[in-house]
Amino acid sequence: MSSANPATETSNVVSVGDHIRNNIREYGMLIALVVIMLLFQFLTNGVLFRPQNLTNLVLQNSFIVIMALGMLLVIVAGHIDLSVGSVVGFVGAVAGVLVVQMHMNLAAATVICLLMGAAVGAWHGYFIAYHRIPSFIVTLSGMLVFRGLTYAIINTTGNGSSIGPFPPAFQVVATGFIPDFIDINPLLNLIGVGAIHSTSILLTIAIPIVMFLLSWRSRSVNEKHGIDVEPFSFFLGQNLVIAAATIFIGYQISSYRGLPNVLVLMLLLIALYGFATQRTTIGRRIYAMGGNEKATKLSGIDTRRLTFYTFINMGILASIAGIIIATRLNSATAKGGDGLELDVIAACFIGGASASGGVGKVTGAVIGALIMGVLNQGMSILGYQTDSQKMIKGAVLLAAVFIDVYNKNKG
């Protein structure tokens, strides 16, 4: 009769300390987000966590998260895109012309805007990938060109300052909320809970359950293949904390008007890009290219085509953000998206992406975007002027990159 070897079965379970040290960047950013949120909750006397402010936090920063997903891939590939703010304004202006002035079918106008963003990304990607012009120069040129085109469109076809308003149907994604299909308020009233958006709270409860099941599956696969995993007690505690935070925030939002449509879109994109970066061939190739382009090319991968596709992807996500911002403001303006590239790039670097490429995670970019969003929201509530906000965000960005470079040199 043979007995299992306990050492073999637990050899890939590392201590809590080792697990945290191996993932210090992700935990560090998550802790920073929590600290910043609690700090502003204290400084604003509890205003930050009010249902309306949490909803506004989502509405005002969802497009930063969406663009950070594309910017993450660009940075991981070893490049940068300085044009995204101008592309946002340009696509918003095009949407204004198509929908407001030409009265085009909304679906057709949306497709054209997305294709326009893809074309801009292809324009950048072509010169970067096939002519080896540094991405900094190409996208800096794009920032100027497409900002100029935005001004030209607004001045030529608009009233000199904006194009609008957009029809309500075109604003559904940016400003609408999911419908309430189920009413559980009679049941909630029995336990002393006030009125709430029932469908939203049910989805809020479902999200951490799905996240836990996916985390469990990933942990089981890692254990099966002998990859280091955290102790089960730490794994369980970590997921319980995440679930509690998710349900608290979801409850607050559900007690106002429910989950915004743009939040649902954002979550779907996060899940899609999380899967693409971790589970698909093209995702792994982008990381390999950013880590060592020459070695990747020698392994038979067409790095030029990969770079080209990466910038097309960035252009499409920028166009989605452009539509969201224009419809949320109910007008396309010449300054639409102005300076937005700072928040998007900062979100990726703050979230742990390496300035030298090859390193970065979707979850990190999302956390970085949330940090930028909370900073924006908190400083606005406290009445900070724009100049002060920019200085603080610039200092946070420099600190994040400094920590990344310091840790790399130390290692």
Question: What pLDDT score does 10 carry?
Answer: 46
Question: What pLDDT score does 7 carry?
Answer: 39
All residues at 6 or more sequence positions from 345 whose CB lies less than 8 Å from its CB, including other chains? 71, 75, 80, 82, 397
Confidence bin at 354 (pLDDT 50/70/90): confident
Confidence bin at 160 (pLDDT 50/70/90): low
Please give the average per-residue pLDDT across 348-358, as a whole number: 83
Compute CA distances 210 → 251, 258, 269, 271, 274, whole Å.
Answer: 17, 20, 16, 11, 14
User: What domains are there in the chain, each with its CATH number?
Assistant: 61-176+261-366+384-410 (1.10.3470), 180-259 (no CATH)
pLDDT digits (tens, 9 = 90+) for 239-278: 898 899 889 998 889 888 889 999 999 999 999 999 999 8
List the Cα angle 24/26/32 in 5-degree steps: 95
Rounded distance, CA 6 to CA 384, Å?
58
Higher pLDDT, 173 or 407: 173
Higher pLDDT, 320 or 339: 320
All residues at 6 or more sequence positions from 155 whose CB lies less than 8 Å from its CB, including other chains? 334
Residue 170, pLDDT > 80, answer: yes
Rounded distance, CA 173 to CA 66, Å?
13
Residue 183, pLDDT > 80, answer: no
Closest CA to 292 of 365, 214, 356, 196: 356
Question: What pLDDT score does 47 carry?
Answer: 86
Question: What pLDDT score does 360 carry?
Answer: 85
Query: Taking the mean position of all CA atoms in its chain, how far away is CA 107?
Result: 24
pLDDT digits (tens, 9 = 90+) for 26-36: 777 788 888 88
Highest average pLDDT, of 65-69, 186-190, 233-237, comes from 65-69
Please give the average per-residue pLDDT across 118-142, as a whole number: 95
Closest CA to 139 of 310, 387, 336: 310
**Cβ–Cβ under 8 Å, residues 283 and 277:** yes
Rounded distance, CA 411 to CA 404, Å?
11
**Cβ–Cβ under 8 Å, residues 197 and 254:** yes
pTM: 0.87
Compute CA distances 238 → 30, 245, 275, whole Å.
Answer: 12, 11, 21
Rounded distance, CA 109 to CA 5, Å?
64
Please give the average per-residue pLDDT across 337-343, as a whole number: 86
Question: What pLDDT score does 5 carry?
Answer: 43
Highest average pLDDT, of 48-52, 159-163, 400-404, comes from 48-52
Burial class of residue 99, CB neighbours in 10 A (0-12, 13-18, 19+): buried
pLDDT digits (tens, 9 = 90+) for 276-324: 998 899 999 999 998 888 898 888 889 999 999 999 999 999 999 999 9
Tell me, letter by letter, the H, E, C secondary structure of the chain.
CCCCCHHHHCCCECCHHHHHHHCHHHHHHHHHHHHHHHHHHHHCCCCCCCHHHHHHHHHHHHHHHHHHHHHHHHHHCCCCCCCHHHHHHHHHHHHHHHHHHCCCCHHHHHHHHHHHHHHHHHHHHHHHHHCCCCHHHHHHHHHHHHHHHHHHHHHHHCCCCEECCCCHHHHHHHHCECCCCCCCHHHHHHCCCCCCCHHHHHHHHHHHHHHHHHHHHHHHHHHHCCCCECCHHHHHHHHHHHHHHHHHHHHHHHCCCCCEHHHHHHHHHHHHHHHHHHHCHHHHHHHHHHHCHHHHHHCCCCHHHHHHHHHHHHHHHHHHHHHHHHHHHCCEECCCCCCHHHHHHHHHHHCCCCCCCCCCCHHHHHHHHHHHHHHHHHHHHCCCCHHHHHHHHHHHHHHHHHHHHHHHHHC
Confidence bin at 2 (pLDDT 50/70/90): very low
All residues at 6 or more sequence positions from 16 whose CB lies less than 8 Å from its CB, including other chains? 230, 231, 234
